[in-house]
Amino acid sequence: MINDINKLLFLDIETVGIEEDLDSLHSEFPNLYKLWEETGYEYCKRRYPKEDSLSSNEMFIKKAALLPEFGKIVCVSVGFILQNGELKLDSYVGDEKEILSHTITLFNRINKLGFRLCGHNIKSFDLPYIGKKILVHGLTIPPILPTYNDKPWETRVVDTKEVWNFNSYIGLSSLDLVCASLNVDSPKSGELNGEKMHKYYYDWPEGKEESLGVKRDDNIKEYCEKDVIATINLVKNISLC
């Protein structure tokens, strides 16, 4: 079903809210704070009706990471498969603009080599998120990134969610479920997951890295890379069909 997996750049991102809570958002981005109250909060209540009883601040902490207008990228992980089958992984963590600069450089390089981008639900989440944040930081959109004027058949993107759904827009297709269905190790089984990422990122206590020898960004990177590995294993299974 998927040809030439050695020409795929597998991708996943991790995101958090742009600030820790609404007080911080009001202090640092007053215009965004006003628009969160007017649009973001109401959107989330409609989008997640089971959680519409959450306060505005609770909703921001739980869901702002999903909206690039109110969130930020804290990690981009990528991977590709060499001709000999060896897996290569890399991650960019830390400052969002630096993460995006590294990602743009990589995208421009693989674009010249005829690669395609691959990930789970990247057409609806990861790639639009990256594109919007590139614009926010005044950087240049790389040619391989799909834009509004690209025809569907012109995009160089393989979305494993679409592959799993066989061109259908309905059906269950979370990465965790697809992994379980194909007997692939799920990246969602550990202590850290996407829903916990915001609190994990902002609640990291000062001095923990020195006392425990553990770095917050390293743990985020490890989790993000697990998503990339899972997607690679999915594609390997699908490519055998």
> What domains appear along the chain, each with residue ranges and CATH number?
5-18+70-239 (3.30.420.10)
Rg (CA), the chain: 18
Q: What is the pLDDT along the chain (241 residues), one digit of tens a residue?
A: 677 899 999 999 999 999 999 999 999 999 999 999 999 999 999 999 999 999 999 999 999 999 999 999 999 999 999 989 899 999 999 999 999 999 999 999 999 999 999 999 999 999 999 999 999 999 999 999 998 888 877 899 999 999 999 878 888 899 999 999 998 887 766 666 777 899 999 998 765 655 555 688 999 999 999 999 999 999 988 875 5
Q: Is residue 89 classed exposed, middle or buried when 0-12, 13-18 and 19+ CB atoms within 10 A define those classes?
A: middle
Q: Is 18 left (phi over 0), alpha (psi -120 to 50) or beta?
A: alpha
Own/partner long-range contacts of 114-117 (Cβ < 8 Å, ≥24 apart): 114/7, 115/7, 115/8, 115/9, 115/80, 115/144, 115/156, 116/7, 116/8, 116/9, 116/156, 116/157, 116/158, 117/8, 117/9, 117/11, 117/144, 117/156, 117/157, 117/158
The answer to whether the pTM exceeds 0.85 is yes
| Nearest in space to 5 (alpha carbons), one of 77, 76, 83 | 83
Residue type, 151: K
